[in-house]
Amino acid sequence: MPCKRALIALLCLTIIVLITSICQSFHTNFRAVGRNGTLRYEPTELDLGQMRFLAGLSDSENLRRTVQRISIKRVVGTPGHSKVRNYIVDYLKKLDWNVELDLFTQKVPIKSAVTFQNIVARQNPRAQRYLMFGCHYDSKYFKDFDFMAATDSAVPCALLLNMATILRNQFHRSDISLMLVFFDGEEAFGEWSAEDSLYGSRHLAELWEKHGLLDKIDLFVLLDLIGARDVVFKKNIPNTSGWFHRLVQLEKMLFQAGILRLERPLFKFEPSTDVDDDHLPFTRRNVPVIHLISNKYPAVWHLAEDVEKNVDYNTTEQVGLVLRMFVMEYLNSAPNTVYQL
């Protein structure tokens, strides 16, 4: 009898280990894309040679200059706002991207009617599907000081423009492409509320839903509050935790290859609570989102000290490097036909 009980216990343990292994494999390799998570995609991993090549494309000076150009007062409707918008548009057009402006006028607190302009840039406007990255380019209005908003969100804007520059000769696919969206009017003019915030993203998500364009978005990666030394990202949206886990894995691979300068990870596969941001109008319409916002808000958040000279470029470049790997892995291995689950 003891021998029989031991055999049964061993068999049960074996089954548990097998099930756990299968679940882990499913979690690690399986990815869902598209609205409602109904499409299946298993990306092919970059090899070490590819990762070293992509890392070698880094352009630190370009990143720094771009942050400097965007880190100015750019409240909606001000000259600085127009200057930054024109800079982003011209930057991407020079790289031969298709750039469109989504214009609309709306009444806001403090001011009267304000014209917002979302910037939508597509590397290939004829693609059938898009990996979408986004951030906001406006800065918040403060009565008592000029807010330069380096981490909020000049650095995220600069990371996307820097990525477009670095990867300009690496885009070869025609069926799936990269889309960059720079939202206007993320910041509230008064106290944050559902009505006074996210002006650009609310308008664009509604517009795209009407025209059926949301179905072309495989995945939306939103960047915000990046540039502080202590930046850390955690998984804050459960249904895209598999995709976030891939970012964690890529950073770990870069560490193991000796490519990264820092000795600490910025992407941690730990649960966190999500916060309101430009992704909400899209998640409410079932677009899968990775929300890359610092789990700990920068110490300079909404303060006069949020300026370019306080940006930590070591952490910023590490974020950019991981995102670069993610983008190229996705675009290069995305199947021509995505299979329904």
- Whether residue 327 contacts residue 258, with contact meaning beta carbons closer than 8 Å, is answered with no
Give yes or no for a contact between 197 and 136, defined as CB atoms under 8 angstroms apart.
Answer: no
Nearest CA to 152 out of 212, 225, 207, 209 is that of: 225
The Cα 204–Cα 210 span in angstroms is: 10
Q: Which pTM value belongs to this model?
A: 0.89
Cα-only R_g, the chain:
21
Q: Is 224 a catalytic residue?
A: yes
**Marked catalytic residue, from 138, 184, 218, 224:** 224
**CA atoms of 41 and 183, how far apart (whole Å):** 28
Chain-centroid distance, C-alpha 332? 18
CA nearest to 135, candidates 226, 271, 69, 61: 226
Catalytic residue among 186, 209, 218, 277: 186
- Say whether 278 is catalytic: no
Scanning the structure block, which residue is given the tokens 């679940």? Answer: 23
Burial label for 238, CB within 10 Å (0-12, 13-18, 19+), is exposed
Determine whether domain 39-331 maps to CATH 3.40.630.10: yes
| Residues in Cβ contact with 321 at an 8 Å cutoff, skipping those fewer than 6 apart | 54, 55, 58, 254, 259, 260
- Nearest-angstrom CA–CA distance, 252 and 52: 14
List the Cα angle 203/208/213 in 5-degree steps: 160
**Contact assessment for residue 123 and residue 179, using Cβ atoms and an 8 Å cutoff:** yes
What are the φ and ψ backbone dihedral angles of 92, each rounded to 5 degrees?
-75, -35
The domain locations on the chain are: 39-331
**The pLDDT value given to residue 26:** 36
CA 338 from centroid of its chain's CA atoms: 22
- Count CA atoms within 13 Å of residue 288 on its CB side: 23
Token pair 């520059």 is found at 165
> Chunked in runs of 10, what are the mean pLDDT values of the chain (341 residues)?
53 46 42 76 84 96 98 97 98 98 95 94 95 98 97 98 96 89 97 96 98 96 98 96 95 95 94 97 96 97 98 98 96 56 45
Give the DSSP letter string of 2-24.
Answer: HHHHHHHHHHHHHHHHHHHHHHH
